[in-house]
Amino acid sequence: MEDRPVLRSRQVKRPTIHDVAAAAGVSRGTVSRLLNGDKYVSPAARVAIERAISETGYVVNRAARSLVTQRTGSVVMVLSEPYEKLFEDPNYSTLIRVAIKMLAERDLSLVMMLAGDAAERERVVRYVRGGHADGVLLVSTHAGDPLVEALGSGPPAVSFGAVIGHENVIPYAAADERLGARQMTEYFVAQGRRRIAMITGPMDTPGGIQRLEGFAEVLGRKATSKLIAHGDWTQASGERAMAELLERTPDLDAVFVASDLMAAGALAALRAAGRSVPGDVAVGGFDDSSVAVTTHPPLTTIRQPLTEMAQETVRLLLALIDGAGDPEPVILPTELVIRESA
């Protein structure tokens, strides 16, 4: 039997920092300083090094660089909700899209983690305390969440919306929740609606508390417990709460729902009960998300500037990562958007 030659795979040598330095005509130290973010590299050397990186196909070894810079090159976003809400609520996709884009401009990666139960929270704490992230973006954090205390000694953290009890500790960007609730409730009053109900969000979140406060500020004593039901931001909870309100107060003629997604559920309950919208009952939501234009009828709602809120949240975190001191919270105004449901 004739022996056949053994074919050996040919390994292609990966370009190194020495190859970049040789191609750029500078020292290895100069290349290293540029890659590690040193500002004191001349413009000419910077151009030469960037061209050499492109020509050689050199890829930065992040693990090696992190040993020098003490940076991981990543930010972790923590959503304190069950995973179902991540895919149901369109607000989260806006935040994720904005965060990915802004972090990419700084060559930072986004790691998404869920903390909807004790096991997931423990996993997040291990990951962050293990030094795997340069910063933390907290999303939909509830009052008393043990995760907040557990992350206290870790990397910088900011929140999309305030963290109840930590407003002066964790920087945040948020919409003016009370203003938006007042705008919607005042609109119903101006329309001549007399029995105005509300479906709140969870009462351990700023949105749940402050939107109810704005509603009550306008109605005063008329904002009775009989006219208030509670949801959890999901469409199903909005449907349940609306059915509960109709059973309690069948003559209600308007309902302010604390999110568009819950408002979609409220519309379903009103249809099932044979109530016309807005003829019998006017419905208003909050967010001006993609849901608002897909309901039947399209939803009158409160627009909170989600993209700007997301941008400000990431900006606050980047400022902390860069050591720029303690940034102030950012509160952005809301706007009433009138469509066909009210």
Q: What is the pLDDT of residue 10?
A: 46
Q: Residue 157 CB: number of other CB atoms within 10 A? A: 27
Give me the sheet containing 254-257, strands edge to edge. Answer: 228-230, 196-200, 254-257, 282-284
Domains, the chain, ranges and CATH?
A: 17-69 (1.10.260.40), 74-175+307-332 (3.40.50.2300), 177-303 (3.40.50.2300)
Q: What is the pLDDT of residue 33?
A: 78
Residue type, 281: V
- Is 133 within 8 Å of 76 (Cβ atoms)? yes
- Is 336 within 8 Å of 302 (Cβ atoms)? yes
Neighbouring-strand partners of residue 181: none
Q: pLDDT band for 1, please (50, 70, 90 cuts).
A: very low
How far is CA 129 from its chain centroid?
22
Q: Residue 332 and residue 323: Cα distance in Å, rounded?
A: 24
Q: How long a stretch of residues is the chain?
A: 342
Q: Residue 326 and residue 157: Cα distance in Å, rounded?
A: 11
Q: pLDDT band for 92, please (50, 70, 90 cuts).
A: confident
- pTM higher than the cut 0.85: no
Task: Please determine, for residue 39, whether its predicted confidence score (pLDDT) is greater than 70.
Answer: no
Strands 335-337 and 301-303 turn out to be antiparallel
Q: pLDDT band for 41, please (50, 70, 90 cuts).
A: confident
Q: 39 or 27: whose pLDDT is higher?
A: 27
- Which distant-in-sequence residues (6+ apart) come within 8 Å of 263 by Cβ? 199, 238, 257, 283, 284, 285, 286, 291, 292, 295, 299, 301, 341
Q: Quick one: average pLDDT of 54-75?
A: 64
Q: pLDDT band for 56, please (50, 70, 90 cuts).
A: confident
Q: Residue 337 and residue 286: Cα distance in Å, rounded?
A: 10
C-alpha distances in Å from residue 264, one per residue of 52, 271, 277, 294:
55, 11, 12, 9
Q: pLDDT band for 71, please (50, 70, 90 cuts).
A: low
Q: 296 or 62: whose pLDDT is higher?
A: 296
Task: Please determine, for residue 116, whether its predicted confidence score (pLDDT) is greater than 90.
Answer: no
Task: Please determine, for residue 105, whether its predicted confidence score (pLDDT) is greater than 80.
Answer: yes
Cis omega before residue 297 (within 30°)?
yes
Report pLDDT digits (tens) over 117-151: 889 989 988 888 888 889 999 998 888 888 888 88
